[in-house]
Amino acid sequence: MTKMNDPKSIAKYIQCLSVLEDNTSMLYNKLSERTENPLLKALLLSISKDSSKHSTLLEGIADSISETKKNPKHCTKNLGEIWKTVSTYLKEVNKKDKTDWINFSELLPKLSALESSLGEEYYIFVQMKTLQLMAKMINQRYNINFENIKAVFESIIKDEEHHREILATIKSVIGEDSTKQDNTPIVRYQNPDAWVHPLP
């Protein structure tokens, strides 16, 4: 995290978090398109929608501090490894043809690590004095108090924890799919004629 002691720096950083969440939303949305399993699709889309919501909330906070333009180069510098990770995964998924197979069981630990990193990024931010400084600036401009701003970040942190739970559910669904065989019982019928009964 870069040092932030002025409104523009803080706003740029939060704007980058907004773009990061938007990219994360696109990643999960693309992944949902690559599965035919309805439950898997729904779970991936739920994370995508949460990430899109986070992006909108963060953009609103950033604009409340100082209007900034989105700048991917600035975001690479500000967010470092987590920015590269999301960008790399998104590029990989976008490169693949719709018929290409994605190994979800290989991807899941990476996505879980990503969600942990996102949660940690917000947690550190909430613990720093930056949040208080930021809330003070927003309060001066729009009369919104610190607790309300903190509550937004805490709700995002809870969502990131929930995303890890969803990914654990996806892992168990994939595990079930991979072990699933033909569940039709193998039975030898000794007298199939016994099945035929005249209608009453």
Instruction: Give CA–CA dist 144/135, Å, rounded.
Output: 7
Q: Kindly report, residue by residue over 99-129, the tens digit of the pLDDT.
A: 677 888 888 999 999 999 999 989 887 887 7
Does residue 40 fall inside a structural domain? yes
158 or 7, greater pLDDT: 158
pTM of the full predicted structure?
0.82
Q: Which domain holds residue 81?
A: 7-178
Instruction: Give CA–CA dist 52/147, Å, rounded.
Output: 23
84 or 197, greater pLDDT: 84
Q: What is the CA radius of gyration of the chain?
A: 23
User: What percent of the chain stands above pLDDT 90?
Assistant: 46
Q: Kindly report, residue by residue over 168-190, the tens digit of the pLDDT.
A: 999 998 887 666 544 444 333 34
CATH code at position 30: 1.20.1260
**C-alpha distance from residue 56 to each of 22, 49, 52, 75 (Å):** 8, 11, 6, 17
pLDDT of residue 172: 93
User: What percent of the chain stands above pLDDT 70?
Assistant: 84
Does residue 16 fall inside a structural domain? yes
pLDDT of residue 179: 62
Q: Say which residues have a Cβ less than 8 Å from residue 42's Cβ, sequence separation at least 6.
A: none
The total number of structural domains in the chain stands at 1
Does residue 57 fall inside a structural domain? yes
Does residue 131 fall inside a structural domain? yes
**C-alpha distance from residue 122 to each of 116, 171, 195, 196 (Å):** 10, 25, 65, 67
Does residue 161 fall inside a structural domain? yes
CA-wise closest residue to 2 among 174, 124, 166, 123: 124
Contact, 161 vs 119, CB < 8 A? Answer: yes
Q: Kindly report, residue by residue over 43-100, the tens digit of the pLDDT.
A: 999 999 999 999 999 999 998 888 877 787 889 988 999 999 999 999 989 887 766 7
Does residue 162 fall inside a structural domain? yes
Instruction: Give CA–CA dist 72/70, Å, rounded.
Output: 7
Does residue 134 fall inside a structural domain? yes
